[in-house]
Structure 1
Amino acid sequence: MTSPHSPNQNQLLAALPTEEFERLLPDLELVEMRLGDLLAESGETARHAWFPTSAIVSLHYVLESGDASEIAGVGHEGIVGVSLFMGGNTTPSRAIVQTAGHGYRLRAQALILEFDRAGRLMRLMLRYTQALMAQMSLSGTCTRHHSLLQQLCRWLLTTLDRMPTNDLVMTQELIAGMLGVRREGVTEAAGRLRDLGAISYRRGHITVLDRELLSTQVCECYGVVKKEFARLLSDVQHRQDSVSGVK
């Protein structure tokens, strides 16, 4: 029986030339990524890079008080572990699985060795890192200048872009933690979207009923980040089918 899982479900891995991809293949390990799993801790040296396929990972900045909020998300379009090839080895952010699914884990040394060959992987990783930086910078601006309703719409739309379904397994408390706001604020914003007919929700689940309506309520940050990812990684999708299939 053919496995439903493949490294090619991650856009960065799928864009690699066959020769580079096959050098990484022996070190790519399929892993289940469960909700709440801690992939990387702030200040600790990373031993692996992670390529999500169906999971979504949230990058959090953690304050000395222990409070944290999301600064970026990573899905099938990206990688968790950019500090490995950027030379920093550690990062002030924490990586936690936001949406359960699967992905591929790669030993740090295997990634570094391939990056140092200065081939296609290196160019892809640098362009992805630039797009990730754009996402991080807009996240801070959005928090300061846009309403909680707009931020919630941005978060919902960004999450939907990484999922095959409109049904999100996510509590309002967890969303509040992602956005760094009080749960009551998320409840009020979600209630307004429900009254508009954009979403429905029950405990632990949010279903997007009208994505176009969400798009009319979201701030400009969503479109700016999406456009930047498309600009920097536009040729990634064009090459997904050219990489040999992997079982």
Structure 2
Amino acid sequence: MEAPPEFDPRNLFLAALSPTDQAILRSMLSLQRLPQGLVLQEPEQSIEHVYFVESGMISLVAAMQDGAAIETVTLGREAILGALAAFGTHRATARAIVQIDATAWRLPVADFRHAIEESPGLRKMALLGSELLLAHMQQTAACNALHTAERRLCRWIVQVQDRVGSDVIRLTHDFLAQMLSVRRPTVSLIAYELQQAGFIRYQRGRIAILDRAGLERSACECAGVLREKTQRIVGDIGF
């Protein structure tokens, strides 16, 4: 059984599957457009769907009782959201929100559970997707605790550009402050300093990247570490 020729996924996990395993999933998948701000899951809610991100960006966010929140991981086309539900994890542990307009292949958890029972290759993919999500969350936790807001913002901009493939990113100060768990004036000051350095131009919720290399030099090492982990784990699908 071969996957239809028009099925050419950008999601790294789907793209790494054998044609046979792609074909098993293809009839179950539907391509969804996910607008910025859409909440895909809330803590303690039942997980109904699995998402293979094709474009854009989704964030998992931990929220406190006082309303404070911080991003625990960003998900792009290297990610699977909800894969653990196929192994019996029925409730979400964090809010998942679309931060930049996204597209994703979606299928019901029940269908995904049936698929991984049918195919060892798909079961391995689901486990590796969960492993990568955990690795990203661990690195992000360390980054949030140990690195300055300036270095984290530079890292964040680099990661977003990797996911959206554009030199212009639509992000507000309020959003960035929440994701970095800092005050809005702190974001304004850092953005001003990055503009003065010639790395970005920020205006009316739009960040234009002028010097990617400069941002990478100013960022913490976490973007590179996560890139390497992603390549290694996704590469393990074929072994």
Specify if TM > 0.5.
yes
Once the 2 structures are TM-superposed, how far is the Cα of residue 106 of structure 1 from its aligned partner?
0.8
Q: Retained in 2: the 8 A contact 1:131–1:225?
A: no
Find the residue that maps to 1:178 and give its secondary structure: helix
Distance 1:105 1:118 in 2: 18
Aligned to 1:121: 122
Q: Retained in 2: the 8 A contact 1:58–1:96?
A: yes
Once the 2 structures are TM-superposed, how far is the Cα of residue 167 of structure 1 from its aligned partner?
0.7
What are the within-5 Å matches in structure 2 for residues 143-154 of structure 1?
143-154=144-155
Q: Retained in 2: the 8 A contact 1:56–1:74?
A: yes
Once the 2 structures are TM-superposed, how far is the Cα of residue 67 of structure 1 from its aligned partner?
2.1
Structure 1: 5+ residue runs without aligned partners? 239-247
Find the residue that maps to 2:13 and give its secondary structure: helix
Show structure 1 runs of 4+ deviating over 6 A.
none
Find the residue that maps to 2:81 and give its secondary structure: coil
Q: Retained in 1: the 8 A contact 2:87–2:113?
A: no
Once the 2 structures are TM-superposed, how far is the Cα of residue 118 of structure 1 from its aligned partner?
4.8
Q: TM (normalized to structure 2)?
A: 0.91
Q: Retained in 2: the 8 A contact 1:40–1:96?
A: yes
Distance 1:71 1:216 in 2: 23
Once the 2 structures are TM-superposed, how far is the Cα of residue 6 of structure 1 from its aligned partner?
5.1
Aligned to 2:59: 58
Are 2:177 and 1:176 aligned?
yes
Identity %: 30
Aligned to 2:3: none
Aligned to 2:209: 208
Letter in 2 for 1:77: E
Find the residue that maps to 1:54 and give its secondary structure: strand
Distance 2:76 2:225 in 1: 18
Q: Retained in 2: the 8 A contact 1:168–1:205?
A: yes
Aligned to 1:224: 225
Aligned to 1:49: 50
Aligned to 2:9: 8
Find the residue that maps to 1:125 and give its secondary structure: helix
Q: Retained in 1: the 8 A contact 2:16–2:234?
A: no
Q: How many residues align?
A: 233
Offset from partner CA, 1:16-59 (integer Å, 9 cap, x none): 22222222222211111000001111111111111121221111
Distance 1:113 1:7 in 2: 23
Once the 2 structures are TM-superposed, how far is the Cα of residue 93 of structure 1 from its aligned partner?
0.6
